[in-house]
Amino acid sequence: MSFQFDFLPQAAFAFLLVFARIGAISMALPGIGDRTVPPRIRLVFALAMSLILLPLVQKTLPELPGALNAMIAALVGELIVGVAIGFAVRLIISVIQIAGMVIAFQAGLAFAQNVDPTQGTQGTMIGTFLSVLSVAMIFATDLHHLMLAAMHDSYTLFRPGEGLPPGDFASVAFDTISAGFRVAIQLAAPFLMFGLIFYLGLGVLTRLIPQVQVFFLAMPANIAIGFILLLLLIGSIMVWFLEYFSQALQPFLL
């Protein structure tokens, strides 16, 4: 009695294709792909997701090519698709950080900066708080299921071996960036209006009463009113962002 292991090369090639795409996407996912998450945890998550998705997307995977160059080209193509999808998700998440930065400028807290764990870079205090809160809300409201579904549906939208359609993805990237800046400004709109009215009133006050110490009067009032506005509006800001997040992922879902 003899055992045949002819299926092993094809199985290994299929797993590498899935792992290349899923691993690249996982590096940019909110929560899992953050810089503060240890690389081993991200690697284990990518391996687990690859094993789970492999039987589901088996039919879309190409056959094992006979040449080494074709194998490398297929793996590189999957890496490019994964990086492109992960980059698009990261652009969606960065909306709340941009809104927090604008809010911090208007509230007089632009110089209060710390390390943003979701981006791994320096950010304003309010922007960092909103970024961490947005990731927590995504997992609390089960919106991360949409990201997992996008991983699976990407094999229907971008079939392995066919490459990434540059025209379609460029259009999606352009729409995502433009919509992201629009939503970020809309989220920070109350603070922009507050800043306009506040500094306009401050300018009138300095004209009427030149002896007033504007700096010592304006800064504490600006920060205090900014915190009060944030306290009143943070619920609406997060609900609006979560709705935008779910809508922005629709192009990657069937």
Mean pLDDT of 224-250: 89
Mean pLDDT of 42-71: 85
Q: Which of 142, 118, 146 is nearest to 253 (CA)?
A: 146
Are residues 180 and 98 in contact, defined by beta-carbon separation less than 8 angstroms?
yes
* Model pLDDT, residue 32: 81
Tell whether the model's pLDDT for residue 9 goes beyond 80: no
* Model pLDDT, residue 38: 82
Q: How confident is the model at residue 1 (pLDDT cuts 50, 70, 90)?
A: very low
Residues 97-142 pLDDT 10s? 889 888 888 887 777 777 666 666 677 788 888 888 888 898 899 8
Distance CA 221, CA 212 (A): 14
Mean pLDDT of 183-193: 90
| Tokens (6 digits) for 1 | 């009695």
Distance CA 65, CA 67 (A): 6
Q: Does the model's pTM come out above 0.75? A: yes
Task: Indicate the range of 50-54, 73-77, 117-121, 142-146 predicted with least confidence.
Answer: 117-121
- Beta pairing partners, 113: 124
Distance CA 76, CA 63 (A): 16
Tell whether the model's pLDDT for residue 2 goes beyond 60: no
Distance CA 196, CA 178 (A): 24
| Tokens (6 digits) for 139 | 């997992």
Q: Which of 237, 243, 234, 205 is nearest to 221 (CA)?
A: 205
Mean pLDDT of 223-242: 89
* Model pLDDT, residue 3: 46
* Number of neighbouring beta carbons within 10 Å of residue 94: 18
- For 122, list phi and psi in degrees, rounded to 5: -70, 140
For residues 1 and 233, which has the higher predicted lDDT (pLDDT)? 233
Distance CA 90, CA 95 (A): 9
For residues 33 and 83, which has the higher predicted lDDT (pLDDT)? 83
- Beta pairing partners, 123: 114
* Model pLDDT, residue 197: 87
Mean pLDDT of 204-216: 75
Are residues 89 and 57 in contact, defined by beta-carbon separation less than 8 angstroms?
no
Q: How many residues does the chain have?
A: 254
* Model pLDDT, residue 249: 86
Task: Indicate the range of 5-9, 50-54, 213-217, 241-245 predicted with least confidence.
Answer: 5-9
* Model pLDDT, residue 202: 80
